[in-house]
Structure 1
Amino acid sequence: MIPIMIIPKGRFKARFRSGSSKVVLLFVIFLLPSVLGQSDKDDDGDDCSETPFECPKPNGNFADPCECRRFYICNTYVPTKILCPARLRWDDRKKECTYENEAECGPIEAVERDEEKEKIEEAPKCDPEQCQLPYCFCSKDGDEPPVDPESIPQFILLMIDGAVNTNNFHFYQSLLNNTDQEEEKRLKATFFIQNEYCNYYMVERLYTEGHEIALSSVTGRNLQRANASVWRNEFGSLRDILIKYSNVAPEDILGVRAPRLKPGYNEQYQALIEEGFIWDSSVSTVPLETPVWPYTLDYKIPHECRVKSCPTKSFPGLWELPLNSHFVSDDTGGQCPFVDQCVFNYQSSNSVFEWLKEDFLRNYENNRSPYILSLHTNWFLTESQEEGLHKFVDWARTQDDIFFVTGTEFLLWLTDENLDQGSKTSYQSPPLLTKREMSCNTPNSCELSHTESNGVETLRYMKTCRDCPQIYPWLKPVEEENFDGISDEN
């Protein structure tokens, strides 16, 4: 029987039908490739202050008071100085290394969550009796699995954010090599595509190999305070671009992630409902010993949001695949929703492998929540991290109850009517939604004009199997964009 994801009436239906059995893994990227290869000229700030750092608490990670790239790991009041990777800065509110224009340098005292300026209708707390699979799923604390964990396969969702191009494609092909792998053990990934600097021929190759193509945005700008029309334009324009220039079938584009992992309050999710998307993966959690499970947004989000712009209203039937924070017991590397935002300075590939394995076992040995392994191209720029990830993937493939799946494939498993009759080793990969074949062997290379937000005319380059457009693909014209004071540079 062909599996069907059941969607509430009036919503976009996703149905897997017979097609090519060739399936490969997809990854998700979020880093602008334009920064690759640039040198980082920041020093470590050693001349900022001669005053020795004193730990404010016995244990934890704390910002350097003088240098934003530097922070300290304190163990029984003994500080160890750490530098964020090149081009990243320490965000003392989120306790992670992030992009310079996003980082809140410290030290920062904890603050209470900002209240909405106007009263809104909040979603009710979870009602398990009313919220039943396959249409709805929730639990009191968000960490209760749908069935006995002993019968649940352990799923790994590899997710990469950003543009796909010559700077990173070879990394993904190397990691996702599925030669001589049985169908159930083939690596699959989900790619959240960003338009700028994207090679749409390479995206089509990933798509035809069985990976899932999802959306980030056209512009890559911070949309956190944008209104619903702006969100619709970003997602709708990018979906049209992928359909036209990467030959992705419309029914295969089902998931999204907010750029820079900054959810857009209720406005983003209203846009997702209106545009017919099935799932989102923009919400991240604070560090939790028991990972949360994916849930529908019928009810109030059951955990604390790492970024304080999560939706508060009810959006029935829309699935959320939350990013549980990655960390290990001794706090080595810090805590991060994207693993490349944790710090692995001077660690060997074996140390990176052991770190990933310990982090993974929190899911595997607990409630079997899917292990969402999200990262950017940055991860592959350090050899020990790339090799450590390869070792982790190779180890996971040897386990008979661990499976690499895409976001949509996981939801197909979760919403299957025979969910309670399965076993942890009985998972079978569904057939592809659409038969996928490359539309060309040699793509067209396009040199295109593009007008920047400041009005400056520039050139952009892209490759596609389709005819080259006259101008670089971008947002559709809209009457008005309301960002509540947020500019393109943020």
Structure 2
Amino acid sequence: MKLFVVAVCACLALVAAAVPQKRFGVPLSAEDDCNPNIRARNFSADPNDCQVFYICDNGWPKISFCPGVTVWTPAAERCLNRHEAENAVCQFVYVPEAVEIGVGLAPVDETCDFQCEDNSGCIARRAQCDGISHCRDGSDERDCAPPCDLDRCRLPDCKCSDTLIPGGLLASQVPQLVMIGWDEAVRVEDYNHLYQQIFKKLSSARRREPRRNADGCPMTGTFFVSHQFTDYAAVNALYAEGNEIATHSVSKQLPAEYWRDSERRVWHEEFVTMRLLLNQLGNVKAEDIVGMRAPYLQTAGDDTIIMAQRNNFLYDSSYATDRNDYPIWPYTFDYRSTAGCAVEPCPLQSLPGVWEIPLVDWIDTNNTLCENVDSCYFPETKQEAMELLFSNFARHYQTNKAPFAINLRARWFLDDGMHNLEALQDFLEGVERMDDVYVVTFAQALQWVRDPTPLNDMDGFFNCDYRDRTPMCEHPTLCGYYNITYQPNDVDHQGDRFFMTCNECPPQYPWVMPIDTLRALGL
């Protein structure tokens, strides 16, 4: 006999309404919200898409997107889980609904994601591989990664998902590794103005010189690059200066569910093609492109990590953790993760060889959790921005010194009166004076995790001789392509694409290569 229970799910109330007017693809309501002479708001909700919102930049709305399946909530000025969200502008309503989920199964407030093989019921994804058989035939616990075995999981190739310091070192012996990560396209204007002001400082001779760590190496960051609107000459320059270049897909296709539901083939085409473009247009060595991050932090669970495993990606950095008093260190997918699963699905199988550098939740000044800095409560002053940076840094530095990631996008520095930029500069100046803090790339942080080295022996641990990297040429070539229909354009609203490269321009605008083409190239 089946049991009927009441499960809570998010439903979108469909209300007949006139289609909002748009100009240049932007709702007129967003223009009015951002207009300082009308509503003078910092954000505006999209009337048609509950995952789209606009950041007001000098009176003009710039489009932005919520990660995963979260929903923009105007009252909180942030993206929230669907059961917490409320958005009257796009008419999002959270409504209880009766759902049949079977007998003796997972929590009743979850949706049906996994069908038991014997049809004895249907359970929530998070109840699968949780160590408890909810299906009568136990099919929900098959092919699952086992709990971590500390005796068998050993460095350099395996680590449990926990808060334990690698190598059995004391916190006082550990360098605090700070990682600055950047998402999305690398634009030439951001390279010339934003990145240079962050990673460099003015010398006494009024020249820009790199900020440096205690070992004399320059502070560097990791750029998770997507293809659309990227300038490959800027990528070339960043790489030549010691920064890490990682992949963020070619298309960054919308909606986020596209990535959740895509087959492994799609992930292969998107990320292997992106690695090829970074190599051929940006002069980044293919063997140095070892990291990846999923668009909108939305993965396909096992299929995403299997793709990474089969294509020699060393690490992924897409999974947010639950809040932990002690932050979680990077871990491998050999065993069952205990880091939480903020955006489902998460890997369930044992997948050796791939590391996860988790997005450890920040706590913003509004006492809520966030992963990317620009998804935190937006600081209204430099003091608030400083508090956001230093309070989250302290949570790592004063506990187990797990690597501290500052995940940035250029929009955090837009329309803020420069106070966010000044706060980050002051933060870096502060840690530059600390002998036990190193600002490094994600790959360098993982190098230390795999080979834990006491603070006193850090000199020479990181190689910062980048003379083997191809410098940016003096006169890059401008490549132009017209009538492009890829998102955010379409057949009815075609656009142009331009980028510079030190190499020859491709005859057609580069895009995702079919898997047969990649395999023919040996990729």
TM, length-normalised to structure 2 = 0.70
Partner of 1:257: 293
Q: Does 1:405 align with 2:440?
A: yes
Which of 369, 374, 379 is the equivalent residue of 1:335? 369
Gaps of 5+ in 1: 1-33, 49-66, 72-81, 481-490
Are 2:83 and 2:94, in contact at CA under 8 Å, matched by a contact in 1?
Answer: no
Q: Does 1:172 align with 2:209?
A: no
Are 1:133 and 1:415, in contact at CA under 8 Å, matched by a contact in 2?
Answer: yes
Partner of 2:22: none
Give me the whole-angstrom Cα distance separating, in 2, the residues matched to 1:442 and 1:432: 24
Which of 144, 160, 163 is the equivalent residue of 2:164? 144
1:430 is displaced (CA, Å) by 1.9
- SS of residue paired to 1:157: strand
Structure 1 residues 137 and 108, CA gap change in structure 2 (3 angstroms):
farther
Partner of 2:395: 362
- SS of residue paired to 2:321: coil
Instruction: Give the partner amino acid of 2:413.
Output: F
The CA deviation string for residues 199-249 of structure 1, in whole angstroms up to 9 with x for no partner, is 000010000000000000100123122111000000011111111100111
Give me the whole-angstrom Cα distance separating, in 1, the residues matched to 2:464 and 2:226: 27
Which of 500, 508, 519 is the equivalent residue of 1:471? 508
Which of 302, 308, 312 is the equivalent residue of 1:276? 312
Partner of 2:52: none
Partner of 1:309: 345
Q: Does 1:240 align with 2:276?
A: yes
Partner of 1:61: none
Structure 1 residues 117 and 435, CA gap change in structure 2 (3 angstroms):
farther
Instruction: Give the partner amino acid of 1:278.
Output: L
Report matched runs for 1:384-463 at 5 Å. 384-416=419-451, 419=452, 421-423=454-456, 428-432=461-465, 435-449=468-482, 450-452=484-486, 455=491, 458-463=495-500
Are 2:180 and 2:406, in contact at CA under 8 Å, matched by a contact in 1?
Answer: yes
1:411 is displaced (CA, Å) by 1.6
The CA deviation string for residues 160-180 of structure 1, in whole angstroms up to 9 with x for no partner, is 101011342211111011626
- SS of residue paired to 1:217: coil
Partner of 2:48: none
Structure 1 residues 234 and 97, CA gap change in structure 2 (3 angstroms):
farther
Partner of 1:112: 110
Give me the whole-angstrom Cα distance separating, in 2, the residues matched to 1:180 and 1:309: 40
Are 2:85 and 2:94, in contact at CA under 8 Å, matched by a contact in 1?
Answer: no
Q: Does 1:376 align with 2:409?
A: yes
Which of 327, 330, 340 is the equivalent residue of 1:294? 330
Instruction: Give the partner amino acid of 2:250.
Output: V
TM, length-normalised to structure 1 = 0.74
1:149 is displaced (CA, Å) by 1.7
1:351 is displaced (CA, Å) by 2.3
Are 1:262 and 1:307, in contact at CA under 8 Å, matched by a contact in 2?
Answer: yes
- SS of residue paired to 1:192: strand
Partner of 1:157: 179
Q: Computing the radius of gyration over CA atoms, which structure comes out larger, 1 or 2?
A: 2
The CA deviation string for residues 26-65 of structure 1, in whole angstroms up to 9 with x for no partner, is xxxxxxxx99xx97544679xx9xxxxxxxxxxxxxxxxx
Structure 1 residues 41 and 271, CA gap change in structure 2 (3 angstroms):
farther
1:408 is displaced (CA, Å) by 1.1
Report matched runs for 1:87-106 at 5 Å. 89-93=78-82
Structure 1 residues 301 and 207, CA gap change in structure 2 (3 angstroms):
same
Percent identity over the alignment is: 29
Instruction: Give the partner amino acid of 1:365.
Output: Q
1:114 is displaced (CA, Å) by 5.4
The CA deviation string for residues 88-139 of structure 1, in whole angstroms up to 9 with x for no partner, is x5324497999x99x9956688943754346451111110000001111115
Instruction: Give the partner amino acid of 1:173.
Output: Q
Give me the whole-angstrom Cα distance separating, in 1, the residues matched to 2:271 and 2:502: 22
Q: What RMSD, in angstroms, separates the aligned Cα atoms of the two structures?
A: 3.4
